[in-house]
Amino acid sequence: MSELLDGKLMIIASGRSDSITRAQPFLTAMCQKLYTFDGEIGAGSKVKMVNELLEGIHLVAAVEAISLGSQAGVHPWILYDIISNAAGNSWIYKNHIPLLLKDDIEGRFLNVLAQNLGIVEDKAKSLPFPVPLLAVARQQLISGISQMQGDDTATSLAKIWEKVLGVGILEAANRELYKPEDLAKEITSQAKPVNRVGFIGLGAMGFGMAAHLLKSNFSVRGYDVYKPTLVRFENAGGLVANSPAEVTKDVDVLVIMVTNEVQAEDVLYGHLGAVEAIPSGATVVLASTVSPAFVSQLERRLENEGKDLKLVDAPVSGGVKRAAMGELTIMASGTDEALKSAGLVLSALSEKLYVIQGGCGAGSGVKMVNQLLAGVHIASAAEAMAFGARLGLNTRKLFNVISNSGGTSWMFENRVPHMLDNDYTPYSALDIFVKDLGIVTREGSSRKVPLHISTVAHQLFLAGSAAGWGRIDDAGVVKVYETLAGIKVEGRLPVLKKQDLLNSLPSEWPLDPTADIHRLNMGNSKTLVVLDDDPTGTQTVHDVEVLTEWSVESISEQFRKKPACFFILTNSRSLSPEKASALIKDICSNLCAASKEVGNADYTIVLRGDSTLRGHFPQEADAAVSILGEMDAWIICPFFLQGGRYTINDVHYVADSDRLVPAGETEFAKDASFGYKSSNLREWVEEKTAGIIPANSVQSIPIQLLRKGGPDAVCEFLCSLKKGSTCIVNAASERDMAVFAAGMIQAELKGRSFLCRTAASFVSALIGIIPKDPVLPKDFASNKESSGALIVVGSYVPKTTKQVEELQSQHKQKLRSIEISVEKVALKSSEVREEEIRRAVEMADAFLRAGRETLIMSSRELITGKTSSESLDINSKVSSALVEVVSQISTRPRYILAKGGITSSDTATKALKARRALVIGQALAGVPVWKLGPESRHPGVPYIVFPGNVGNSTALAEVVKSWSVVAGRSTKELLLNAEKGGYAVGAFNVYNLEGVEAVVAAAEEENSPAILQVHPGAFKQGGIPLVSCCISAAEQARVPISVHFDHGTTKHELLEALELGLDSVMVDGSHLSFTENLSYTKSITELARSKNIMVEAELGRLSGTEDGLTVEDYEAKLTNVHQAEEFMETGIDALAVCIGNVHGKYPESGPKLKLDLLKELHALSSKKGVILVLHGASGLSEKLIKECIENGVRKFNVNTEVRTAYMEALSSGKKTDLVDVMSATKAAMKAVITDKIRLFGSAGKA
């Protein structure tokens, strides 16, 4: 037992799980906080030893710090006030130093403390394990005890330490007090204007400080020895110099932010040093951490320069991030004139500015004392956690306990997570404390203050540096202990191989409970009401309605329909906790009212949340219970198979390829608004409820119960729960989920009530949803729309960014991207915001009208606020900007895809004004498709809700591909589909833009595939622009259209055609002998195959004229069946046959086709997998066309009739405007093409 930080009782218990379970009610009743270590016998006593180790070290360190500061001339109460709000703070310092300074604490407790530390030290010796800080702390306590006079144990603690350390602590504490903050306000209010700032030292901290001065509208010239940093600073808007001397030109204030005294000396007095060139009357601000003695000496040296130079001693604290935001803590000292000269600069850089009396060096004195405590606290945290690991304790649990005990400190809570995560990314390098504690020990020596704890801590950091760890994070000092003792402090849950873990589980329950669920639900009158905190919760259901508003009237209407389930989209994840709670209360009140209105409809509430544990828990659950009343249990079930989320042995995992990563170790756990640390769901509940629901009180349904006991065992377990319990559900398959659902329904039928906080899989399991095939554009009428699709991305999770990159890579030809600057819409003025929105709207409308898939996304750099509420506010502003863009787009998209929970909700409800929708199904596993209600801005338009955390890196690109207008434009694919469907595809020769548009327009209107053909004669005149026009039109068409090169009679023509990006070519060797034709065709076919281009060839020769090429009747010849069999061995894909068909016009007697020959050729081609083509389709009767199709013709070439229509439209009438000519000729050609498409049977086959 021990006291919590607020004075309440805490118990740390350990033992066998069954023993703890039996004792838990009694232990809970005895204390305000209970920590349990299941299966770890003696763990409670071990944790207490670790805590006592820290308390003892912290006490001695606190006294050393106050003594050193007092001896340096800094008022002890000033030290206390500043450091108790800084990184040097600890629970001991915060609570014991005031008593010490008031002389209000007796020394008698030193005996007990020394005795306790002796027990800890003896335990460490027995392991064996080195505890140097503990050992020296205990010796200091013994030294203090020795100063007590005889048996007078009532001697005050302050007087004891005064004797031990030789410092008059009480005398210093009774000096006249002042308020450093008030002095700072006074100085800044009288600050002198600053025209130019020089800045030397653009390291991690220095760069942020200098950059913030730029943002604060100072003119700053910077210098650093590392040249790339100068380039970066110049890009940020700063001026750069090539030496310290050059940086001082015309400056009013020179800021020095270098690593140590040696560097400060060098930049000031070394080669091209600043002092030589600095203008008279300038002020030097030394922001580095240096010794007070160095500062005092520097002030004297500057005074001796005879240039009226002033010095401000201004060490800073706060870290890299705060430096960049101008939120540092600065402890400044110097003359009033110096401080006023630098006041504006100091104010711009700081959130907390303290002016310390005592002249230059006093500020560094305060920083020195803070660093003494910070350094000792990091080292003692390392000693404590390593000792705990050596004792066999769970280090993560140990951290949680100590963080709520007297052994905690600011550095313990900040640095131990680095140790637990084994993450030593250098936020503050270990070598910094080699330097800073070196300053401490040197000052202690010069001022005759014995600093035993500080000296040992310094030696530990020196040992770490000597071992090569000087550049890693200062928490890396724990490696000294790990190396000496051969232990690991790391407390991460391991990343596991997915298949190995899943294979280790018992076999699934053998019976599928889905039929039982349907039967049970028929006997259970309850409706499942899902309050979805973003629209992605519909990702496992279909044929279920979604409400985006929750009026009593709307809910009553749903209850009257008696559905198994309906959703209410709350979008509460985008709100603050307070607003989310108020919203849930409002909805639950309306549910109660609607239920009464329809005759007390019964329902179960599911708070559908994120499968990666983000969201307002427990706030929403508390809000629901406050209206609906206490439930028998809260059910926590984040399992979601489609997203790769598994809960096994109470640990929630996120699948990453073939690995299972504990959820607390993923990027989702680092969410700026809903971050967490615990992967174990029991611990997660405790963490999110701030200890109100202890981990050991959370019940758990293990996978073993689901798979061995089935639904009946689940029902029995749930019915046995104490009212008001919290229960987590383990699950690793859909069958597990169905088993639990069936058991829960049984429990409900027995009168139990539950409030469920779950992911999407739970919902589909509870209503017995049977999955169906993915939804495609053909399931909507929108596949006939000509506009582009609208894709809106707001999610910031790394997975979304990777998916967007893959989308842009795979769809770069047809996709157009519009990036909205987060900085402009969330952080800049309203004018800048409106201009950014207007720009995006104009571009989007243009792209959509052109048929382009249009991606609108927020810039990918994640900008977060200082607090979770500020981060939510930024997210809200970004989301509202996306909403404004979408709401102002006037073009109706073919479909809309919204990526991210908040984005998809706001887009549906605010931009599209949807009040209700029907979930049609899934576009991809976990990606729901809605049909928007008639009240929305775009009724009937498919709305794809794509969660931010679903799918692999290609998932978004795959959905966009499957929802593209054209599945592909391969000529071969078009003809193979025609073979399967028993129809033919028209291939129309085109010569200009009007012809291309006529083919595409007719094909789209008839929902038919078509082929654009370019004849060599047309290519000779139109060239590459004509081909490019065809390819572009095919790509943008809403139906499958390919581009074909017709009648390539020379190798030169065909080689050029193969490089143009066409889908197919015709090798026309019909003018050659059979042997030559065979060789010619084979050579071109081999080249085309390497480029995946389809080849059509001709055997036989048609008479007639086409594009200036004439074949006389006596030269024409029919296709020979025997030759055709050999010819097909060349590898061709299609064969143009001659059966009496001609190019151009047929004779007055009409066409005389050899259909028997065609029948023989079809029998042969069917065996060889070759498609038959018929040229000269102009002039063939409907009867002949149909007979040809029946006998295997799958491609008809049409030229003459279309050309004739064009020429007649061109010559008729008196059109004088070229636009009118284009319109008339296009309409004439389109009419002919439409008739042919219908005749060939391809209408409606796209």
Active site residues: 367
The residues near 5 (Cβ < 8 Å, ≥ 6 apart) are: 91, 404, 405, 406, 408
Helix (H) or strand (E) holding 155: none
The residues near 275 (Cβ < 8 Å, ≥ 6 apart) are: 268, 269, 302, 305, 309
Size of the chain, expressed as the number of residues it contains: 1246
**How far apart are the C-alpha atoms of 890 and 757, rounded to whole Å?**
39
**How far apart are the C-alpha atoms of 1192 and 1162, rounded to whole Å?**
6
Burial 1019-1055 (b: 16+ CB within 10 A, else e): beebeeebbebbbebbebbbbbbbbbbbbbbeeebbe
The strand pair at 790-793 and 853-858 is best described as: parallel
CB 1161 within 8 A of CB 1124: yes
H helices of 1037-1073, in order, are: 1051-1057
**How far apart are the C-alpha atoms of 985 and 494, rounded to whole Å?**
59
CB 1174 within 8 A of CB 1195: yes
Q: Which residue has the tokens 């929105």?
A: 837
The residues near 167 (Cβ < 8 Å, ≥ 6 apart) are: 67, 68, 70, 71, 161, 449
The strand pair at 1094-1099 and 2-3 is best described as: unpaired
**How far apart are the C-alpha atoms of 457 and 473, rounded to whole Å?**
16
For residue 11, CA distances in Å to 4, 37, 208 come to: 9, 11, 45
768 conformational bin, left if phi > 0, alpha if psi -120 to 50, beta if neither? left
- With vertex at residue 351, the alpha carbon angle to CA 344 and CA 575, rounded to the nearest 5 degrees, is 130
**How far apart are the C-alpha atoms of 200 and 247, rounded to whole Å?**
8
**How far apart are the C-alpha atoms of 436 and 378, rounded to whole Å?**
13
**How far apart are the C-alpha atoms of 268 and 801, rounded to whole Å?**
47
Report the DSSP beta bridge partners of residue 930.
919, 943
Output the six-digit token pair for 566. Answer: 């309906």
Output the six-digit token pair for 440. Answer: 């401490």
Beta strands in 659-753, from DSSP E residues, in sequence order: 659-662, 699-701, 725-729
Output the six-digit token pair for 1039. Answer: 């139906």
Helix (H) or strand (E) holding 1190: helix 1182-1190
Nearest partner of 246 among 219, 220, 223, judged by Cα: 223
Burial 603-612 (b: 16+ CB within 10 A, else e): bbbbbbbbbb
The residues near 731 (Cβ < 8 Å, ≥ 6 apart) are: 637, 639, 646, 647, 703, 706, 737, 740, 761
241 conformational bin, left if phi > 0, alpha if psi -120 to 50, beta if neither? beta
